[in-house]
Amino acid sequence: DTAVSQTPKYLVTQMGNDKSIKCEQNLGHDTMYWYKQDSKKFLKIMFSYNNKELIINETVPNRFSPKSPDKAHLNLHINSLELGDSAVYFCASSQDSGQGTQYFGPGTRLTVL
């Protein structure tokens, strides 16, 4: 009965590869997010989708492409991975009436070698 789940938990890959991270929420929320947490633990929003529509797109390289097939899923595809992409990526979700309260998944630790 996990609220926000992500797969995989760990991802180790070579530079130049393409990889995807999947996220699902069973909370019935309208909005989903991708965050990046760097080595200093700073959390920064990357993207947000509301009812499958992109509403936040921060300054992120266009090698990163989010896709929301439905309200409960938000995937993140990364092309041509670089060393600097190594980080922990968190998915989150929120209800439109929730006044900003967001609920986070367990994270995906991406390591690019």
> What string of DSSP letters covers 30-88?
SEEEEEEE-TT--EEEEEEEETTEEEEE-S--TTEEEEEEETTEEEEEE-S--GGG-EE
Applying CB under 8 A, does 43 fall inside the site for other proteins? Answer: yes
To the nearest whole angstrom, how small is the minimum distance from the Cβ of residue 75 to other proteins? 17
Selected from 41, 62, 69, 84, the binder of other proteins by CB under 8 A is 41
- Determine if residue 40 is left, alpha or beta; phi over 0 gives left, psi from -120 to 50 gives alpha, anything else beta: alpha
Count of residues in contact with other proteins, rule CB under 8 A: 27
Instruction: Pick between residue 56 and residue 60 the one whose CB is nearest to other proteins.
Output: 56
Question: Where do we find the tokens 């980080």?
Answer: 87
Instruction: Pick between residue 13 and residue 104 the one whose CB is nearest to other proteins.
Output: 104
To the nearest whole angstrom, how small is the minimum distance from the Cβ of residue 80 to other proteins? 27
Applying CB under 8 A, does 45 fall inside the site for other proteins? Answer: yes
CB atoms within 10 A of CB 32: 29
- The binding site for other proteins (CB under 8 A) comprises 4, 31, 33, 40-45, 48, 50, 55-56, 90, 92, 94, 96, 98-107
